[in-house]
Amino acid sequence: NRIVHDLKNPNTTISLSAELIKKKADDPKVVVDFADRIKRSATTVLNSLNNLLDLSQSENASFRLNAEEIDILHILEQAKNNFELIAAQKQQTVNISCNCSSLIFADSVRLQDAFENLLSNALKYAYANTTVYINVSTVDNDLLIEFKDEGQGLLPEEMSKLFTKFAKLSAIPTGKEHSNGLGLSIVKMLVELHHGKVWAESEGKNKGASFFIALPVH
């Protein structure tokens, strides 16, 4: 029911915005405003459907990763490009840095889903005119990917429920974006399928947050 409700809201926005554009086609400002609303809502629907697909497939006994040698940096650049327009709406920037080999044996499609969920969250809950930093490094035998934002931060009591389905947290989207409550649980599931770990760190409210993915290097 929660997912159906989350999909209905953006669809209603798309329908109403399209109607208003038809009525106000001679007003460029109105057209641009409601076109942006349509774009944001369409992105919400796509993210929700991708999460549902990942969740459904993971519960299938025949689900398998399609692992091969991939370049993590290339996948992160793809994720950045996919969210370029979304970041621009709040004048946010995404900075990727890597100080090590970014080759790993993994499923590129599943990892891109995980990365895009974390990037989406970082942009969604961070303030306008801020930067999301994606840092890639190696620690022991793991490839470590950090998504660091300059947003609302996390409370200590929220850490234990971060990666559970439909977790209620104190942070709210800063640009009226929608959240289906599945993103972080999907990230955890996809990372653990790769025998990796995911966790978050924050110094507290309004001090930003870092989400980490550690993947074993084979």
What would the pLDDT profile of 188-199 be if each residue is shown by its tens digit?
A: 988 998 999 999
Write down the pLDDT at residue 14.
Answer: 73
- Is residue 109 assigned to a domain? yes
- Is residue 11 assigned to a domain? no
Q: How confident is the model at residue 1 (pLDDT cuts 50, 70, 90)?
A: very low
pLDDT tens per residue, range 115-157? 988 998 999 999 999 999 999 999 999 999 999 999 999 999 9
Helices marked H in 27-162 — which ranges? 28-58, 72-82, 84-89, 108-125
Write down the pLDDT at residue 119.
Answer: 93
Residue 147 structural domain: 66-216
- Is residue 51 assigned to a domain? no
- Is residue 88 assigned to a domain? yes
pLDDT tens per residue, range 159-171? 988 998 777 778 8
CATH number of the CATH domain containing 114: 3.30.565.10
Count of domains forming the chain: 1
Cβ neighbour number for residue 187 with a 10 Å cutoff: 25
- Which residues is 39 bridged to in the sheet? none
- Is residue 73 assigned to a domain? yes
- Is residue 77 assigned to a domain? yes
The alpha carbon of residue 176 and the mean position of all alpha carbons in its chain are separated, in whole angstroms, by: 15
Q: How confident is the model at residue 105 (pLDDT cuts 50, 70, 90)?
A: very high
- Is residue 32 assigned to a domain? no
- % of the chain residues with pLDDT over 90: 39
pLDDT above 60: residue 76: yes
- Is residue 10 assigned to a domain? no
pLDDT tens per residue, range 26-75? 888 878 887 877 776 777 676 666 666 666 666 655 567 789 999 999 99
Q: Which of 215, 189, 214 is nearest to 51 (CA)?
A: 189
Extract the runs of DSSP E, i.e. beta strands, from 141-186. Answer: 142-149
